[in-house]
Amino acid sequence: MRIRFLVPGNVRHGSGGNKYNAKLAEHLTVLGAEIETVRVDGDWPVGGPADRQRLAGMLDGGTTVIADGLVASGAPEEIAGAVGKGTKVWILSHMALAEHGDLEAKSLAAATGIICPSSHSAAELETRHGPQNIIIALPGADKANPAQGSQPPRIVAVAALLPNKSQTLLVEALANLQDLEWEAALIGSEHADPAYAAEVRAAVEHYRLEDRISITGELSGNALEDQWHQADLSVLLSRSESFGMVVTESLAHGVPVIVRQGTGAVEAMGDTGAGAALDVATGDEPAKTLRHWLTDPGLQERWRSNALHTREHLPGWDTTAVTVLRALQSPPN
């Protein structure tokens, strides 16, 4: 099967969506599909007239297309035109668009089908736009060696420095725990939103935590593995997440996780007992939970044991690819 995979060219930092796209393409290839990955430049999610015209050309040809929602959800006329000419266009919607809801609704209605990376993201789309032809293909997890941890305990937050990821909230929480022993690392791109990255650095400096909180920038390969190897706890306080692949990445290393209630990260953690989901909106303070974890060896051991158990049962990316390929090969509804 030949598949053209259209991914946004204007998201250059290491996002969860980018990783999902790359892993899906890799494992579809393993299953025998012929994948052509095309970076679509433009001012997406809507794009200008030239951007949409270029997208229309990439959709043409009567083949099967998977188009990232950041590209496809703002171009309903182009999607409808391609489907009308015989191209099967599946929109891979990592997360509903924050704006341009009318365009997104029309694009989803025109598409052959929709792929969502979680039940959470699928439910969000259907809440906004009504019932959809959606298949859910949960992200896989790469096999990893279990972390060894550190002394003092090491807390990591792996995410680009963006307002949605709420790193300043974590810094403020840690500032209330200076009477305890810990170290922390904020691991993610500072270039995705330089102004917010500067706020994060300013917060660390304001609380005089430069010796305890490191801001590493975006890491990959052995450098990122070294950080996981040292980690005892992972924290993801995003205000919204379609799934939160860093959660399963953390569990793949046997590292428990604290996430925010009401986000897809709760689905990623599941009923594992390997961490906690904080209802920040109702005053569930990160500092309180972190203090509990730092001062209760029994809680540390339970979370760690549960994370190690979960690590043995995480599905791989081959499962994700099989789910998608079956949907693409099925006759239309």
pLDDT tens profile 286-331: 999 999 999 999 999 999 999 999 999 999 999 999 999 999 998 7
Asked whether 265 and 190 are in contact (CB, 8 A), the reply is: no
What's the confidence (pLDDT) of residue 98? 81
What's the confidence (pLDDT) of residue 283? 76
User: What is the topology classification, in CATH, of domain 154-311?
Assistant: Rossmann fold (3.40.50)
What's the confidence (pLDDT) of residue 18? 87
- For the stretch 87-96, pLDDT in tens is 999 999 998 8
What's the confidence (pLDDT) of residue 332? 63
- For the stretch 228-241, pLDDT in tens is 999 999 999 999 99
Which long-range contacts does 88-91 make (Cβ < 8 Å, 24+ apart)? 88/63, 88/64, 88/112, 88/328, 88/332, 89/59, 89/65, 90/64, 90/65, 90/66, 90/114, 90/115, 90/327, 90/328, 91/67, 91/115
What's the confidence (pLDDT) of residue 12? 62
What's the confidence (pLDDT) of residue 11? 64
What's the confidence (pLDDT) of residue 14? 61
Which long-range contacts does 119-123 make (Cβ < 8 Å, 24+ apart)? 119/267, 120/241, 120/242, 120/243, 120/263, 120/264, 120/266, 120/267, 121/93, 121/94, 121/95, 121/96, 121/242, 121/243, 121/264
What is the second-level CATH architecture of the domain 2-140+316-329? 3-Layer(aba) Sandwich (3.40)
What's the confidence (pLDDT) of residue 282? 80
Task: Check: pTM over 0.75? Answer yes or no.
Answer: yes
Q: What residues contact 271, with CB distance under 8 A and at least 6 apart?
A: none
Judge if 2-140+316-329 and 154-311 fold alike in CATH terms.
yes
**Residue 10 confidence class, pLDDT cut points 50, 70, 90:** low
What's the confidence (pLDDT) of residue 313? 94
What amino acid is encoded at 140 in this protein?
Answer: G
What's the confidence (pLDDT) of residue 60? 79
The domain limits of the chain are: 2-140+316-329, 154-311
pLDDT of residue 147 exceeding 80, the answer is: yes
Average pLDDT over residues 118-123: 95
